[in-house]
Amino acid sequence: MTAIQGPDERNLIPRWRAFGDAVRSGELDSARSKRREVSEDVGQRIAGFEEAKNAFIRSPGIHSSSDLLTQAVLGRHHLDGTTRTAAQHVLEVDAPAALKSLATKALADDSGSGQDENDLPSEFNLDATAHRIHHLRSILRREPLNAVRWTDLALAQVKLGSLVAAERSIRAAVQLQPNNRFVLRSAVRLYLLLDQPDMAHRVITKAPANLDDPWLRATALTTARISGVAGVSVRSSRRVLESGTHSPWHLSELASQVATLELDGGNVRRARQMMRTALVDPTENSLAQAEWAASHGLSAPATDASHRRVSFEANAISHKSAGRFAEGLEACLLWLADQPFDPSPAIFASYLASVGLEEYGIAERAASQGLIANPNDELLRNNLVFALANQGKTKEAREQIDRIIQPASGSRESITLMATEGLVRFKEGDAEGARSLYAAAVDRLVTLGQTDRAALANIFWAREEIRQGTRHASAIATNALALSRRASRHEVQLWSQRLVNDLERISSADPARDSHLR
Amino acid sequence: MITTNPAEDLENEVLPNGWTVTERIVPRPGDTGGNFSVNYWAVHSSGRRGFCKVLNYWWLLTSGAIGSDPLHALAEASRIYEFERDLARDCRSLSRVITTIEDGTLNRAGYLISMVHYIIFEVAEGDIRRVMDYSSDLDSAAKLRIVHNLASGLRQLHGIEVAHQDIKPSNTLVFPPHLGAERVTKVGDLGRATVLGRPADHDNFDVAGDRTYAPIDALYGSIPSEFAARRYACDLYQLGSMIAFVFTSVPINAYMTLELHPRHHWDNWHGTYQDVYPYVLDAYGRVLDRVSQEVPEGIREEITKLISCLCHPDVSQRGHAVTLRRSGNKYALDRIVTEIDLLSRRVRLFEKV
C-alpha cells in the first residue's frame, strides 16, 4: 500500500532554493521600508552624463560609448538619440561581451522590458547537480569567503544525498555570515532535514538581532515549535506584525507561523486574524500553510494578491482534495523540482502517481529522487516498493523492502508497510503470507478508525486476489466495497470503482469464474 | 561687445609672465563648472598653450547660486577660489597630476566688479577615452604605463594628504609623447578633492564626486567616518575601476550593475550595506571572472588581482594585501604602484622579445 504523511502538523519551514531562485522569489528583498538616501551633488551627475555625450559626439568609439552608457544606465538617465547611437554602435562593432551586455541593458531598461521572474523550476538532474558541485567548488577555491556559494554548495550536496559534506559547507557559510537571511534560513532547513531541530534553533537565535528580521523571526518561531524550546515570544512577534514597519510581503511567513501557534493554543479567532494578515501578500509557503490550516478548520479568505504567486504545494493539496489527480501530480512534481531534497513532495508525488493515476513509473522516479537525500525515510521507500511491485519489478521491490528499518510496531508506517509487504508477497507467489499481512493491516486500520486507508488496503488486496483468481477474492472484494462506502477520500471512490470494473470484466469474460468469485 | 562682467571680456588680454588670453571656450551643456567659471585658451610667448579658468564673480553674485547675501556670496566665492588655487599650488610639483602653470589676479578698471581671479592649467592631448579609441599603438605595455601613471598621480596626491574622489575617464588626461619620451597620463580636475584638515563644501556629500564611479559601499550609503577609509579608499576603488576600463573598456560599477540582481542593486536596496554585502561579494566574484576573461592572457592573473584588491566591496579589505597587514596607512599605494611598474617592465621586455 502506498501512503502520504499525516496532515496533523505543518510548520513554516523555510524553502531552500539556490541563491538565484531565492532572489527571484523575493524572499531576499530588504525588509525595511525606507531607504537611506545617499547625498550627492546631483548637478555633478547630470554634468557627467552631458559631458560623456559631448565626448562621444566629438570622438565616437568603444571607450567613449562605454563611459556614456555607464553614465546613462547607472545614472538612470533617459536614453536620448546620442546614447541610443552609442548603444547601437557597441552592438554593431567588435566590442567586449560585458560592454555589449551594458548596451543591451541600456536599451532594455529604456524600453521597460524586465526579466522574467516566473520561471518554473527545472526537473532535478543528477549529472547537472554533480556538475554544479564541481563548478561551485572551483568558485570557492577562488572565493573562499563567499557565503552565498557555500550555501549553494550545501544545497547541491544535499540534493545528491551528501549530507555530511553539506553540513560542513553550511557551517562554513554560517561562520562567514552569521546574520544573513539566506544563509540562516538555508542552514535551518538543512538542520531540520538532518533531524537536528535544536541546532537549527541555535543557529538562528545565536544573535538576538536576527529576530529583528521578520523572516528570521518566523523561522525562529518554527524551530522553537519543532524543538520544543521557549525563547521566541509570540507576543513580541505580534508586536512586530502590528508595528507597521514592514510590508505585508515581508510579514507573511511570520503572520502565518504565529497563526499556526495561535491555533496550537486554541485561539482560533486570533489565528484567523493572523492568517488573514499572512494572506495580504503571501509567500508561496504561506499559501501552502493556509491550505493546510483550512483543512484544520481555519479558513481565511485569500485576497486577490494571493493569486499573484503560485504555490505548488498548496495547489497539489487542493487538487488532491478535489480529486483532480493529474493536476495534483503536475503541481506536486513542480513542488518536488523546487524542493528535491524534501521528502514531503516526493511522498506526495509517488502517492498521487500510484493511487490517483496508476502511473507507477512516475511514482518510482519521484520516490527514488526523494530517497537520495532521505535514505532512511521508510514511507518513501514503502512508496517505491509499491510502485516497483505494481510494475512487476518484484525482485527490486523485495530488495528495497529489505532495506527498510522496521518502524515501531503499531505505528502508521508499520501498518502501511505491512500492507505493502502483503502486495510483494502476492507478486512473489506467497498468497498465504500476503493474505495474513493484508488482513492484519486492514484490521488494525479499522480498529484505529482510519477507514479510508483501511478501504484502500482492502481494495488493493482484493485486486490481487482477483488477479490470482483465488477463492477468497469475492469475500474480500465485498468487504472492500463495504468499507469504501464509508470512506470519504476521492481516491478510495476511484479505486472502489476500479474494483467494480474488475469484477464486471471478469464476470463478462468468464461467467463460471465469476460465480466462483461470488 | 559691451559687458558688465570682466570675466567674460578677457579675449586678447595680456597677462603677466608672458601669457595672452586668446579664444573663449564656449561651454557645451554639461561641461563641468557651468557658469561658475569662464574658460579661455591662453598662449605663452614660448608658444606653450594653456587652459585659463576665470572665476565668474558676476554670475555668482547675480545667480543666487551661493545665497542671496552679496557679501556672503563674495566671501564664499573667494573661499572656493582660494581652495582651488591653493590646492593647485600644492600640486605644482606633482608630475602625474594636472598642474597650474600660473595663477593671479587682474584689476579691470571700469567694471562694477573689477577683480578677476584666474588660474592657467597645462593642456592635455585629450582624455583617456579618446586616446584608447584612436591610438593604434596601445599594446598591453602602453596600457600598463597609463595605469602606472594614474596610480602614481594618486600616490602623489595622497602624499600631500589630498584625496581626489572623482577619478573617471574624463578626468584621466593624456599628454602626447614629447622629445622621445613616452605618452604621460595625469590625474585631472581636483574640483571634488578633499584635503585633510582643509574643509570644502562637497565634503558633506556622501558621494563627493560623480556618483556613477563612486565606490559601491558609498552607493549603498555605507560611509566610513575615518578620513582614510572614506577618502583614500575611494581613490583606490576608482583606480581599480579605471584599470578595468583601460583593459576591458568597462568600469567596475557597470560590471556590478550587470551582475547584481536588480532587487539587490543599490538603487533598489532599502536595507543596510551589511545586509546586502554577501550578495554584493558574490556578484563581485562573478565580475572578476568576467573581467579576467577580457584581459590579455599574459597579464590576466596580475591585472585581475590588482582590480580585485583595489575594488574590494569591503572597505577594510581594500588595498594591497601586504599593506593591509602592516601598521600605518592601510590605503598606501606604494606597493600597488611598484607592482604595476614591475608588470609593465616585464611586459615591455616580453613584447620586445
- DSSP letter string over A341-368? T-HHHHHHHHHIIIIIT--HHHHHHHHH
The span from the first CA to the last CA of chain A, in angstroms, equals 25
The answer to whether residue B127 neighbours chain A at the CB level (below 8 Å) is yes
Q: Which residues pair with B21 in a beta bridge?
A: B42
In contact, B190 and B208? CB cutoff 8 Å? no
In this prediction, residues A248-276 reach a mean pLDDT of 92
Residue A73: closest C-alpha in chain B: B254
- Residue A13: DSSP 8-state: P
Distance from CA of A96 to the nearest CA of B (A): 7
Q: Is the ipTM of this complex over 0.85?
A: yes
Mutation choice for A interface testing from B189, B211, B276 by most A CBs within 10 A: B211
* Helix/strand/coil (H/E/C) assignment for every residue in A446-487: HHCCCHHHHHHHHHHHHHHHHHHCCCCHHHHHHHHHHHHHCC
How do residues A170-188 score in pLDDT, each as one tens digit?
A: 999 999 999 999 999 999 9
Q: Do B264 and A105 touch (CB under 8 A)?
A: no
**Secondary structure of residue B352 in the 3-state scheme:** helix
Portion 228-257 of B in contact with A at CB < 8 A: 245, 248-251, 253-255, 257
Residue in B169, B270, B285 nearest the CB of A143: B285
What nine digits make up the cell of A193?
532535514
Cβ atoms A491, A455 nearer than 8 A: no
CA B134 to chain centroid, in Å, comes to 21
Query: pTM for this one?
Result: 0.89
Helix (H, G, I), strand (E, B) or coil at B185: strand
> Which candidate, A274, A283, A204, places its Cα nearest to that of A250?
A283
- Cβ pair A46:B279 closer than 8 A: no
Alpha carbon distances (Å) from A311 to A22, A256, A290, A362, B57:
14, 14, 11, 21, 66
- pLDDT tens sequence for chain B (353 residues): 456 788 888 999 999 889 999 999 876 554 544 557 888 999 999 999 999 989 888 777 776 666 667 777 777 777 878 888 888 888 989 999 998 898 998 888 888 778 889 999 998 888 999 999 998 778 999 999 999 999 999 999 999 999 999 999 999 999 988 767 788 999 998 889 999 988 888 888 999 999 999 999 999 999 999 999 999 999 999 999 999 999 999 999 999 999 999 999 999 999 999 999 999 999 999 999 999 999 999 999 999 999 999 999 999 999 999 999 998 899 999 999 999 999 999 998 887 76
Strands (E), A217-352: none
- Decide if A338 contacts A312 (C-beta within 8 A): yes
The residues with which B118 forms a beta bridge, in sequence order, are B54, B104
Q: Are the C-beta atoms of residues A70 and B253 closer than 8 Å to each other?
A: yes
